[in-house]
Amino acid sequence: MNARPEVPFYDTASPNTRSRYTRTAMALHWLIALGIIVNVVLALSADSLPDGWVRPVINTHKSIGITVLGLAILRVLWRFTHRPPALPASFPKWERASAHIAHILLYGLIFALPLSGWLHDSAWKDALTHPMSLFGFIPWPRIGFIMDQPPALKEHLHTLFGSLHTWFGYVLYVLLALHVGGALKHEWIDRHSVIRRMLP
Ligand code: HEM
C-alpha cells in the first residue's frame, strides 16, 4: 500500500520533498495553457476574418474549448492525488498566499470558460440546424436542458451566458498577467526560478 499522507487541496504547510511538478502535471499545464491561448486568439480574431472563415474558426474554438474542459477534469483529478512541490519558504508569505489564490481562481476558470461557452452555444437559436462536432470528426452534444427551453427564454440565456463567457475572459486576462508576471519576477528580479519547476 502507498503510505503517502493525506493532504488537503492547497495545503502548503506540509513539507514536500519534490522540487518539480510531475511529468503528467507539466503536460496538462502546458496543454491547457496552449489551448486557452489559442482559443482567446481565435475568439478575438473571429470578427476581423473573411466571412467564409468565421464558422470554421468558431467551430475550432468550440472543439478546443471542450478539449480544455476534458484536460481540466484530468488536471484536477491529478492534483488531488499528487501534491505539488511547495513554494520556496524564502518567498514572503503574501507572495505565496497570492500565488495560491491566483492558482485556485485559474483552476476555476479552466472550468468556467468552457462551461459558459458550452451553455452559451447550447442556447443558440440555430443550434439544432448546426450540430456540433469536435474538430469536424466526433459528434458532440449540446446541453439538452438548455436546448429544450422556449425560444424567448433561450434567447435570454444565450445573451446571459455569452456575457458571462466574455467576463470570464476578462478575469482570465488579469489572472494570466499576474500569473506570468509573478513567474517572471521570480525569474529575473528575485533570481529564484519557479518556471523550471514546471519544465521537464
Ligand atoms: C478554453 C476555453 C475557452 C476560452 C479560453 C474561451 C474564450 C473566449 C473568448 C475570450 C471569447 C470572446 C468573448 C468576447 O470578447 O466577447 C469567446 C467567444 C466565444 N466562445 Fe469561447 N472560450 C472557451 C471555450 C468555449 C467553448 C467550449 C465554447 C462552445 C462549445 C465556446 C463558444 C464561444 C462562442 C460561440 C463565442 C462567440 C464567438 C463570436 O461569435 O464572436 N467557447 N470565447
| Residue 16 pLDDT grade (very low, low, confident, very high; cuts 50, 70, 90) | low
What is the pLDDT, as a whole number, of residue 88? 87
What is the pLDDT, as a whole number, of residue 17? 60
Q: How far apart are CA 88 and CA 169, in angstroms?
A: 30
Check if 39 has its Cβ closer than 6 Å to any atom of ligand 1.
yes
Atom of ligand 1 nearest to the CA of 32: 1
Q: What is the pLDDT of residues 157-187, one digit of tens each?
A: 999 999 999 999 999 999 999 999 999 999 9
Question: Which residue ranges make up each domain of the chain?
Answer: 23-198
- Percentage, residues of the chain above pLDDT 90: 86
- Percentage, residues of the chain above pLDDT 70: 92
> Do the Cβ atoms of 118 and 133 come closer than 8 Å?
no
CA of 26 to the centre of ligand 1 (A): 25
- Name which residue sits closest to atom 2 of ligand 1, judged by CA: 65
Check if 119 has its Cβ closer than 6 Å to any atom of ligand 1.
no
> Do the Cβ atoms of 81 and 29 come closer than 8 Å?
no
| Residue 14 pLDDT grade (very low, low, confident, very high; cuts 50, 70, 90) | very low
- Name which residue sits closest to atom 17 of ligand 1, judged by CA: 43
At 122, is the secondary structure helix, strand, or coil? helix
| Residue 18 pLDDT grade (very low, low, confident, very high; cuts 50, 70, 90) | confident
Residue 5 pLDDT more than 60?
A: no
pTM above 0.75, yes or no: yes
Q: How far apart are CA 117 and CA 182, in angstroms?
A: 28
Tell me how far CA of residue 77 lies from CA of 30, 71, 80, in angstroms: 16, 10, 5
Per the prediction, the chain carries an average pLDDT of: 91
Question: Which three three-digit cell numbers place residue 15?
Answer: 513539507
Q: By mean pLDDT, which of 10-19, 131-140, 154-163 is the weakest?
A: 10-19
CA of 70 to the centre of ligand 1 (A): 16
Q: How far apart are CA 154 and CA 114, in angstroms?
A: 19
Residue 12 pLDDT more than 90?
A: no
Check if 43 has its Cβ closer than 6 Å to any atom of ligand 1.
yes
Alpha helix segments (H runs only) across the chain: 23-45, 51-81, 93-122, 144-147, 151-184
State which fold the 23-198 domain adopts.
Fumarate Reductase Cytochrome B subunit (1.20.950)
CA of 85 to the centre of ligand 1 (A): 33
Tell me how far CA of residue 28 lies from CA of 37, 71, 72, 119, 157, in angstroms: 14, 7, 8, 24, 32
